[in-house]
Amino acid sequence: MKLPALKKICLALSAASLLLSVLPAQATPSKANAHNVIIFVWDGLRPDSVTAADTPNLLRMRSAGVNFSANHATYPTFTMMNAASFATGSFPEHTGFYGNTVWRAGATGKDAHGKPVDFQQPIFTEDYGILDDINAYYSNQLLMVGTLFQAAQASGITTAAIGKSGPAYLQDFKRGGLLLDERTVMPLSLAQELQAAGVALPKTATITDANATLALAPNNGDPTASTPVAKLDDKVTTDPTNGSGSPYKNANAYMMHAYLNQILPMHQPKLSLIWLRNPDSTEHNYGPGTANYHDALRAQDQLLGDLQARLKALRMASATDIVVVSDHGHSTVAGDADWFPLRVVADGKPGQTSELAYSVSGDVRTADLLTRAGFTAYDGKGCVLDPVMSGIRADNTPVYATQTDNDGSVCGKAGQKYTTGNFKVPAELPVDKHPIVIAANGGSDYLYLPDHDAATVAKVVRYVQSRPEYGAIFADSRYGQLPGTLPLQAVHLENTAGRNPDLIVSFNFNEKAVVQGMPGTEYESAGNNRGMHGSFSPIDVHNTFIAYGPDFRRSYLDKYPSGNVDLAPTIAHIMGLNLAGEGHDGRVLLEALRTAKNFKPKVTQHVMSSTKADDLTIVYPTDPDGKDINNAQHHYHVELSTHTLYENGKPYTYFDSAKAIRN
């Protein structure tokens, strides 16, 4: 997508200068000679996706700079969880943040579109309006520790957050810098400046402040819109054979070029974060390894090339560190191939089985399974139609037959087709039935029990252990040592303010199974996706982290364990900033810096095992009612694999994976 040329931008300099002149005076930075830092997040980028064919610019940057080959995402490996870790250098036990989807009954407010939000239902947090609502609910402590952006702004540094709705905004949720995401522009002065320069604005939110409101230009259009996702004949299952390209690349190009052509030269922010949703969203739609996945990578790499070229043109390249990092890895949604063989997709539908074909399984709706087992469960969703990804057995029959709500009594609309029913949270929970509210997130589910009934928790845990769709289980310490579980505290997930769910359950995975040439499959919350993340699979945990610039070593392979929590402390160190408050968990990645000296820490590996849950009846995922029993399996336990790095005697533990063992 072509944006205004430099000539047009120059015509807007006088207007922009006037806007800048009325901005508040800023303090002198704490480190006046600090280099510029640009953090470029490639959402969902797997390390094995960096290739000469798809990402030549990134491959060259990796070879010339630092490749953190043992980097770790924060578990659960979701976008917003890791956005909080990037922002703060902390785990959820200290941030108190658990997105993507959380249950915050009692919060009130509107979303980015100005529509009232029903917080009685679990809510998806990738929306600045919803984040503002939750922030208000938490008395302006959406994140319970200080952020990198706040530290920079306190030192007089201009910041810019660009990109994907939700994670980009979370970096600067107190609105101290410049923001352009898929739904808004902040502050109003930046919106006025962009509009004066002929740059279109996101159309989905009114841009306003206390004094004025900016109307969109008549020819503004919808620059952050995506193109339609190709579907099979059922109109809900995505078509993995489609080759029309990534639906998100034009919107991503718009935001990057608005930054490069206007925000960067006009404001010269010393700290920028650009978070673009490729390849992740394309992987969700079509799956890793597909034609559109490759297109997403190529488009993203082109934007990296544009960034590098623009920095050279502005004579900023030698004074700018670029960090390319992903929030998590990404896996193919698929169940066990023995039960759900891959199938050829042709003529708008899945057909014959083939080891070289596509998944037709992997979707699991926890609320439905728990309800069938006699629990009272809700996930905030109405009827769901999921005829393919909820599973096609080896004998060609679906796990869930498609049904029709003839009179509207099930789904609320006569004639609606569905595979699983309505599990909306009622206005008044039936407390006498010990209800369970599930925040269905993807590769892991969050289970909230409002009454914290210990007996119900124990029964739910045992039920989940009986179904091989589920993997490792983590429980709040209030329930003691439940057989076959690990405490939330063991993976930095139990929050002192009590914001955490009662249980967090990873879906099961097979890191060695291969679909479309890409290793790694997992079950997911029923979402009709072909790609997912969020589990404790090593494929989801081990993400990409590459750095190049004046502060980083050249052509250095960093094999020491590192994590997304280390990003903020490292950037703060480079820029001479102090992260405010306590509870920052990451370390400064000293070994990767040009100033590195005698960095020889001790690194150990460890496997933590839970106790065993014995005498289980293990069922097959081919039957949601649990009548298909595997009589050979009776035990369950969890193994958590870690690396710990000791720096000056202080331990930093990184979580490699957590796997459920059934035997």
Domain boundary residue, one of 111, 142, 173: 142
pLDDT tens string 154-174: 999 999 999 999 999 999 999
Measured distance CA(349)–CA(352) in Å, rounded = 10
Same domain, 230 and 359: no
Split at pLDDT 50, 70, 90, the class of 472 is: very high
**Average of per-residue pLDDT across 98-102:** 96
DSSP, residue by residue, 213-280: EEPPPTT---TTPPPPPPB-TTSSSB-TT--S--TTHHHHHHHHHHIIIIIHHHH--SEEEEEE-TTH
Query: For position 27, what pLDDT does the model report?
Result: 32
Instruction: For residue 502, tell me if it sits in a domain.
Output: yes
Instruction: Evaluate whether 295 touches 247 at the Cβ level (below 8 Å).
Output: no
Split at pLDDT 50, 70, 90, the class of 20 is: very low
Report percent pLDDT > 70 for the chain: 95
Same domain, 433 and 508: yes
Split at pLDDT 50, 70, 90, the class of 211 is: confident
Same domain, 503 and 574: no
Instruction: For residue 314, tell me if it sits in a domain.
Output: yes
Query: For position 33, what pLDDT does the model report?
Result: 58
Report percent pLDDT > 90 for the chain: 91
Contacting residues for 149 by C-beta, under 8 A, at least 6 apart: 87, 159, 161, 171, 172, 176, 177, 271, 273
How does strand 444-448 pair with strand 436-440?
antiparallel
Tokens matching residue 365: 């709706």
- 636: helix, coil or strand? strand
- Only one residue has tokens 């040592």, namely 481
- Is 485 a residue whose pLDDT tops 70? yes
Measured distance CA(11)–CA(4) in Å, rounded = 11
Split at pLDDT 50, 70, 90, the class of 308 is: very high
Split at pLDDT 50, 70, 90, the class of 448 is: very high
- 369: helix, coil or strand? helix
Instruction: For residue 516, tell me if it sits in a domain.
Output: yes
pLDDT tens string 546-560: 999 999 999 999 999
- 516: helix, coil or strand? coil
Query: For position 595, what pLDDT does the model report?
Result: 93
Q: Which domain holds residue 549?
A: 6-93+146-329+542-592
Instruction: For residue 1, tell me if it sits in a domain.
Output: no
Nearest CA among 185, 209, 507, 544 for reference residue 363:
507
pLDDT tens string 44-81: 999 999 999 999 999 999 999 999 999 999 999 999 99
The answer to whether the Cα torsion of 30, 34, 38, 41 is positive or negative is negative
Looking at the DSSP bridge assignments, the partners of residue 446 are 439, 504
E strand residue ranges, 264-314: 271-276
pLDDT tens string 116-129: 999 999 999 999 99
- Which range (30-39, 90-99, 229-238, 254-263) has the least confidence? 30-39
Question: Residue 635's Cα: distance from chain center in Å?
Answer: 32
With 0.85 as the threshold, say if the pTM is over it: yes
Query: For position 613, what pLDDT does the model report?
Result: 97
Measured distance CA(49)–CA(283) in Å, rounded = 12
Nearest CA among 414, 413, 386 for reference residue 400:
386
Q: For 617, left (φ over 0), alpha (ψ -120 to 50), or beta?
A: beta
AA letter at 52: A
Query: For position 213, what pLDDT does the model report?
Result: 83
For residue 634, count other CB atoms closer than 10 A to its CB: 15
Q: For 339, left (φ over 0), alpha (ψ -120 to 50), or beta?
A: alpha
Query: For position 9, what pLDDT does the model report?
Result: 33
Instruction: Evaluate whether 207 touches 213 at the Cβ level (below 8 Å).
Output: yes
CATH number for the domain including 572? 3.40.720.10
Same domain, 18 and 128: no
Same domain, 290 and 375: no
How does strand 518-522 pair with strand 509-515?
antiparallel
Interhelix angle 79-88/567-575, nearest 10 degrees: 30
Residue 339 burial (CB < 10 Å; 0-12/13-18/19+)? middle
Residue 25 or residue 228, greater confidence: 228
Same domain, 298 and 169: yes
Measured distance CA(291)–CA(241) in Å, rounded = 7
- Is 331 a residue whose pLDDT tops 50? yes
Residue 280 or residue 596, greater confidence: 280
Looking at the DSSP bridge assignments, the partners of residue 525 are 364
- Is 208 a residue whose pLDDT tops 80? no
Looking at the DSSP bridge assignments, the partners of residue 180 are 162, 185
Instruction: For residue 73, tell me if it sits in a domain.
Output: yes
Q: How many domains in the chain?
A: 4
Query: What is the average pLDDT value for the chain, to the nearest integer?
Result: 94
- Is 19 a residue whose pLDDT tops 60? no
- Is 345 a residue whose pLDDT tops 90? yes
Same domain, 150 and 186: yes
Instruction: For residue 434, tell me if it sits in a domain.
Output: yes
Instruction: Specify the DSSP class assigned to residue 193.
Output: H
Query: For position 633, what pLDDT does the model report?
Result: 78
Same domain, 481 and 515: yes
Same domain, 363 and 465: yes
Split at pLDDT 50, 70, 90, the class of 190 is: very high
Domain boundary residue, one of 122, 142, 162: 142
**H/E stretch holding 283:** helix 280-286
Query: For position 543, what pLDDT does the model report?
Result: 98
Tokens matching residue 615: 């005498």
Instruction: For residue 537, tell me if it sits in a domain.
Output: no
Nearest CA among 632, 313, 661, 269 for reference residue 486:
661
Query: For position 212, what pLDDT does the model report?
Result: 79
Domain boundary residue, one of 509, 532, 555: 532
**Average of per-residue pLDDT across 348-361:** 97
**Average of per-residue pLDDT across 228-237:** 98
Query: For position 132, what pLDDT does the model report?
Result: 97
- 232: helix, coil or strand? coil
Could you give the dihedral angle defined by the CA atoms of residues 385, 517, 291 and 38, in that order, rounded to the nearest 10 degrees? 100
Query: For position 21, what pLDDT does the model report?
Result: 31
pLDDT tens string 392-421: 999 999 999 999 999 999 999 999 999 999
Query: For position 1, what pLDDT does the model report?
Result: 41
Instruction: Report CA-CA distances (Å) from 473 to 76, 85, 348.
Output: 12, 22, 38
Same domain, 299 and 158: yes
Same domain, 447 and 507: yes
Measured distance CA(544)–CA(46) in Å, rounded = 6
Measured distance CA(301)–CA(320) in Å, rounded = 18
The answer to whether the Cα torsion of 29, 34, 38, 41 is positive or negative is negative
How does strand 349-353 pair with strand 403-405?
unpaired
Cis-peptide into 187, omega within 30 deg = yes
AA letter at 249: K
Tokens matching residue 252: 């991503």
Instruction: For residue 49, tell me if it sits in a domain.
Output: yes
Instruction: Evaluate whether 220 touches 267 at the Cβ level (below 8 Å).
Output: no
Same domain, 180 and 117: no
